[in-house]
């Protein structure tokens, strides 16, 4: 499951993309605030950006260049422009792939999966941050102001998932699916134990009421 930011001003096409990607287990983010699109992308801490070129306020070339200057998030340009020059400019500005519209949905998915597989296994040290809490994905160390603690693998997986979807509820099933990628057996009780341990680790830093339980729905930060 990946967190994918769709930068597309065609509402119908954006909804079709969202439906397609969510049906394959991905989560989609979008915004209509194209005037502030670059900070919106950076604040989302997404796993992939699908970027159109013809957009309000700024074209996709500018957005690609600005995002790439501040982040290594993979970018796939998805556009109706289909000249070799458009592809060349996109790749030179830091795009990871280039797909022309109209496209076959399975071809698009294949490109997305290939980029995610390549980049998610070769991502350099990243830091997620939310409400002054910072999590180093490389070391598993979470810090708050001048204090820090090292998390277990499962604690880090849970906090990473929640921080990548900050402000949104993540269901227990989604978290368990994420933890199943490790070698440990995870059941409902084990998840509860891990969440409680993570909450206590955060409290050691002086962070209270950060990991919120939404009864019958899941958790959020």
More confident residue, 14 or 43: 14
Handedness of CA 188, 137, 78, 98 (dihedral sign): negative
- pLDDT tens per residue across span 55-97: 988 888 999 988 888 788 899 999 887 677 877 888 888 888 8
**123: its two tokens:** 């991502």
Q: Is 155 exposed, middle or buried (0-12, 13-18, 19+ CB in 10 A)?
A: buried
pLDDT of 33 reads 93
Question: Is the pLDDT assigned to residue 30 strictly greater than 90?
Answer: yes
Question: Is the pLDDT assigned to residue 52 strictly greater than 50?
Answer: yes
**147: its two tokens:** 């204090």
Phi, psi of 119 (to 5 degrees): -85, -35
Handedness of CA 190, 192, 197, 201 (dihedral sign): positive
Please report, rounded to a whole number, the percentage of residues in the chain having pLDDT higher than 70.
93
Pick left, alpha or beta for residue 141 (phi over 0 → left; psi -120 to 50 → alpha; otherwise beta).
Answer: beta
pLDDT of 198 reads 95
Domains observed in the chain:
3-120 (3.40.50.2300), 127-220 (1.10.10.10)
Give the predicted TM-score (pTM) of the model. 0.55
Give the residue from 157, 174, 152, 154 showing the smallest Cα distance to 219: 174
Q: What is the mean pLDDT of residues 3-17?
A: 93
Query: What count of other Cβ atoms lies within 10 Å of the Cβ of residue 131?
Result: 11
pLDDT of 80 reads 82
> What is the C-alpha to C-alpha distance for residues 43 and 137, in angstroms, rounded to an integer?
16
**108: its two tokens:** 């698009």
Kindly indicate the confidence band of residue 27, based on its pLDDT and cuts at 50, 70 and 90: very high
- pLDDT tens per residue across span 118-170: 776 544 447 788 888 988 877 788 888 878 888 888 898 899 999 989 999 99
Phi, psi of 23 (to 5 degrees): -70, -20
- pLDDT tens per residue across span 199-209: 999 999 999 99
pLDDT of 146 reads 78
**113: its two tokens:** 């999966």
């Amino acid at each position: 499951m990946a967190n994918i930011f769709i930068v597309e001003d065609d509402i119908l096409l954006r909804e079709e993309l969202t439906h397609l990607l969510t049906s394959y287990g991905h989560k989609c983010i979008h915004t209509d605030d194209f005037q502030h699109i670059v900070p919106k992308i950076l604040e989302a801490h997404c796993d992939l950006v699908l970027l159109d070129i013809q957009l309000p306020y700024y074209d996709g070339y500018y957005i690609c260049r600005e995002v790439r200057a501040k982040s290594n998030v993979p970018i796939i340009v998805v556009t109706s422009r289909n000249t070799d020059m458009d592809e060349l400019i996109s790749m030179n500005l830091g795009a990871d792939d280039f797909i022309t519209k109209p496209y076959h949905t399975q071809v698009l998915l294949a490109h997305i999966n290939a980029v995610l597989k390549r980049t998610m296994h070769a991502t350099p040290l990243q830091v997620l941050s939310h409400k002054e809490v910072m999590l180093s994905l490389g070391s598993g160390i979470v810090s708050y102001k001048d204090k820090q603690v090292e998390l277990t693998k499962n604690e880090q997986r849970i906090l990473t998932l929640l921080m990548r979807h900050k402000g949104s509820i993540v269901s227990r099933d989604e978290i368990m699916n994420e933890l199943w990628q490790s070698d440990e057996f995870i059941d409902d009780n084990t998840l509860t134990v891990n969440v409680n341990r993570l909450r206590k680790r955060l409290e050691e830093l002086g962070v209270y009421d950060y990991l919120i339980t939404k009864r019958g729905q899941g958790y959020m930060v």
